[in-house]
Amino acid sequence: MNILANDGISSSGKTLLESNGFSVNIVNVAQEQLINFINDKNIEVLLVRSATEVRKKLIDNCKNLKLIGRGGVGMDNIDVDYAKQKGLKVINTPAASSNSVAEIVFAHLFGSVRFLYDSNRNMPLDGDVNFKKLKKNYSLGSELSGKTLGIIGFGRIGQATARIALGVGMKILVHDPNLNSTNLCLEILNKNLDFSIKIDSFEDVLKNSDFITLHTPSQKKPIIGKKEIEMMKKGAGIINASRGGVVDEDAIIENLDKNHLSFAAFDTFINEPNPSIRLLMHPKISLTPHIGAATNEAQDRIGIELAEQIIELLNN
């Protein structure tokens, strides 16, 4: 059975598939050439990440496809319901990258409260001649310990983020419309600490958090726009390592410019792969190019989890 991992797969995942009789092709085929390639090579399993789109046209024109796999959590680049209607199996790897995404949230958070996103831009330019001035500019940072992190969306990634927050001494406020309450287990030095987590109202999280991080599926309209930002504390910060469009980017920039927000951080953007230049150039925004799940460890787990699901579904 032929597999195309169009956005790549870890070597461990590839090896596991091949040892179970699958032929794995890891060439990256351009979107406009994908239908022809799948048909010419008799591809029966298509594996993607966020770059490749699997829409109705491809599904209708690739009759040999049996399974579509998404390495990661979000499935907004796949017409999932339509694929299932056509008899295709659709899988993803919701648990594999939770820790990696949670850690990039804190990479942005630690960097933002100490102005590293701006210092790293300016030190190479002026560090040799304006060292004392830069030192003064960046000497009014904050500690995270004792601050409150508001978490919008409390699935696997939201919970992984909460564990780090608790570990560094932060308080957490949580909103998730699908939960009334939940438990959270934090493992420290091989000991398990259990926490009962109360689910707060959306408004309470916005009003009482020092920082907001979002961990929700893709939305038709922003969860946080101008109205919601105005409810946030003056000087708060916001991090979006979720999906592009869950926050109103223009409203973020407006509130950074008038100092209602102290910083923002983005790993995902509305117009990927061509984010807004205003966003990219803003001096109060910390930026990464959608790499939240892109660690060696996460990619290894994703590859193995995809392989195990494929083997179970198609070999058995």
> 138 with 11, same domain?
no
Count CB atoms within 10 A of the CB of residue 51.
Answer: 14
Which strand ranges, in their side-by-side order, compose the sheet holding 67-70? Answer: 23-25, 2-5, 45-48, 67-70, 89-92
pLDDT at 316: 65
Amino acid symbol at 258: K
**Do 301 and 168 belong to one domain?**
no
Complete DSSP assignment for 174-193: EE-TT-SEEEEEEEETTEEE
Tell me, what's the pLDDT at 72? 87
- Which domain, by its residues, includes 302? 2-96+296-315
Do 255 and 308 reside in the same domain of the chain?
no
Distance CA 29, CA 20 (A): 24
Shared domain check, 18 and 86:
yes
Name the DSSP class of 199. Answer: B
Domain shared by 121 and 222, yes or no: yes
CB atoms within 10 A of CB 96: 23
In single-letter form, the type of residue at position 293 comes to: A
**Could you tell me if 129 and 264 lie in one domain?**
yes
- Structural domain count of the chain: 2
Q: Are 242 and 269 in contact (CB under 8 A)?
A: no
235 and 262: one domain?
A: yes
pTM for the complete prediction?
0.88
Residues 147 and 174 in one domain: yes
Q: Are residues 31 and 150 in the same domain?
A: no
- E strand or H helix at 267: none
How far apart CA 289 and CA 50 sit, in angstroms, is 12
What's phi and psi for 173, nearest 5 deg?
A: -120, 135
Task: For residue 24, give the CATH number of its domain.
Answer: 3.40.50.720
**Same domain, residue pair 263 and 302:** no
Mean pLDDT, consecutive 10-residue stretches, the chain (316 aa), reads 95 96 96 97 95 96 97 90 97 92 98 96 95 95 97 96 96 95 89 92 98 93 97 98 96 98 97 94 96 93 96 87
| Rg of the chain (C-alpha set) | 22
Q: What is the pLDDT of residue 68?
A: 98
CA angle 210, 215, 216 (to 5 degrees): 130
β-strand pairing of 23-25 with 261-266: unpaired
Pairs from 198-205 (Cβ < 8 Å, separation ≥ 24)? 198/174, 199/154, 199/174, 199/175, 200/173, 200/174, 200/175, 201/175, 202/152, 202/175, 203/231, 204/173, 204/175, 205/150, 205/151, 205/152, 205/173, 205/174, 205/175
Query: Both tokens of residue 87?
Result: 């008899």
Residues 58 and 112 in one domain: no
Distance, in Å, from the CA atom of 158 to the CA atom of 141, rounded to the nearest integer, reads: 25
Please report, as a single letter, which amino acid is at residue 80. V
Q: Which residues are catalytic?
A: 243, 272, 290
Q: If we measure between CA atoms, which residue out of 42, 53, 155 comes closest to residue 101?
A: 155
Alpha helices, DSSP H, located in the chain: 11-19, 34-40, 56-61, 80-85, 98-113, 116-126, 131-137, 156-167, 202-208, 226-231, 249-257, 277-281, 296-310
Q: Are residues 131 and 170 in the same domain?
A: yes
